[in-house]
Structure 1
Amino acid sequence: MLNVHEMTKISLLASLIAVTGMIKIPSFIPGAEFQLSAPIAIAIVAVFGFWRYILAGMISSSILFFMGLHTILNVEISMIYRIVAGGFVALFGPSAPVLIAAGPLGTMAARYGLATTLQVEVWPLLLAALPGMIFTMIAVIPLTKMLKQVSRLEGRHYARG
């Protein structure tokens, strides 16, 4: 059973995933922009754990879907990414090599899932995702360190009153 503290934490993580998922970073390959949420997602699973990450991701996808900002294909891609990348970190631990590999593995699995759903070749989808995979590999360690710092502040109250 979740207490108020856990529900609040998961809700904040869902908001972070949703907002960063809507931020698209342009790529040098036309049409291959990528979401800032990919390295954030890996950092979340590394710092806050797999189950909090999956719950936050499900909430994020549900909200974006019901608001009309995501399609069912977006939800499919996101959930495949979360299960594969998050599961990889959960199985092998949050070491730097695992965190660096998790994003690209999740992206590849999500692109294979999308290719299967759309019945298209996977290679163009993987090629378009390559810049995002590289960005995720570069950004995941600094973002994980940042989230660890934020999580250390958890429970401290700075309001005076």
Structure 2
Amino acid sequence: MNHRLYSLIETSLLASFISVTGFIKIPTFIMGSEFQMSAPIAVAICAVFGFKRYIIAGILSSITLFLMGAHTLIHVEIAMIFRIVVGISMALFGRHTGVILIAGPLGTLVARIVLAFTLQVPAIVLIIPAIPGMLLTAFMSVPLTKLLRKTDQQIGGKQYGKAL
């Protein structure tokens, strides 16, 4: 399989992975808040595959979910702000464990501040319910990154010349 075709398939699968895990929502102890599994998955994808592949997969995910009616423009806004902050964090500071821990919660924080501006509500009202999810994102991002990195090394694009 040639490199370009493999990259196309891999990016499509990453977009699907982001989309599907976005539907996995775990309730937290704060009423009205939940942890969305796609956040640490997205951080791991950015850490393993780099910003370009991550942002393309994220855009494809948002377009797909929007066209299916599963997301509104506000959902897309939140997701894209999150992705940009995570990507810029890793582009500026590297893909080290500390950055992986902080990138997701920072992305959520900035996305909530932008959402507060969009909705014309106090940011603290949106940030406080997000804190448990931000902590879970930080906690889950590192092991998911390690798992995704190991999987990519074992079966990923480094084997273009081998039978898959």
State the AA in 1 paired with 2:43: I
Paired residue secondary structure (2:31): coil
Provide, for residues 6-44 of structure 1, a one-character-per-residue CA deviation record: whole Å limited to 9, x for no partner: 111110100000000111011111110121011111100
Q: Which residue pairs with 2:101 in the alignment? A: 100
Provide, for residues 105-134 of structure 1, a one-character-per-residue CA deviation record: whole Å limited to 9, x for no partner: 100110011001000000010001000000
Q: Which residue pairs with 2:35 in the alignment? A: 34
Q: Which residue pairs with 1:127 in the alignment? A: 128
State the AA in 2 paired with 1:12: L
State the AA in 2 paired with 1:84: V
State the AA in 2 paired with 1:96: T
Q: Which residue pairs with 2:47 in the alignment? A: 46
State the AA in 1 paired with 2:89: F
Task: List, as ranges, runs of 4+ consecutive aligned residues in structure 1 with deviation greater than 2 Å.
Answer: 155-158
Count of aligned pairs between the two proteins:
157
Q: TM-score, normalised by structure 1?
A: 0.94
State the AA in 1 paired with 2:92: L
Provide, for residues 33-71 of structure 1, a one-character-per-residue CA deviation record: whole Å limited to 9, x for no partner: 121011111100000000000000000000000000000
Determine the C-alpha separation between the residues in 2 that align with 1:24 and 1:32. 10
Determine the C-alpha separation between the residues in 1 that align with 2:82 and 2:42. 9
More relative contact order, 1 or 2 (CA 8 Å, 6+ apart)? 2
Identity %: 53
1:109 to 2:78 alignment? no
Determine the C-alpha separation between the residues in 2 that align with 1:140 and 1:55. 20
Q: Which residue pairs with 1:83 in the alignment? A: 84
Structure 2 unmatched ranges of 5 or more: none
Provide, for residues 63-108 of structure 1, a one-character-per-residue CA deviation record: whole Å limited to 9, x for no partner: 0000000000000000000001121012111111111010111001
Q: Which residue pairs with 1:15 in the alignment? A: 16
Paired residue secondary structure (1:97): helix
Q: Which residue pairs with 1:62 in the alignment? A: 63
Determine the C-alpha separation between the residues in 1 that align with 2:18 and 2:92. 22
Q: Which residue pairs with 1:139 in the alignment? A: 140
Deviation at 1:157, TM superposition (A): 4.0
Structure 1 unmatched ranges of 5 or more: none
What is the Cα-based RMSD across aligned positions, in Å? 1.2
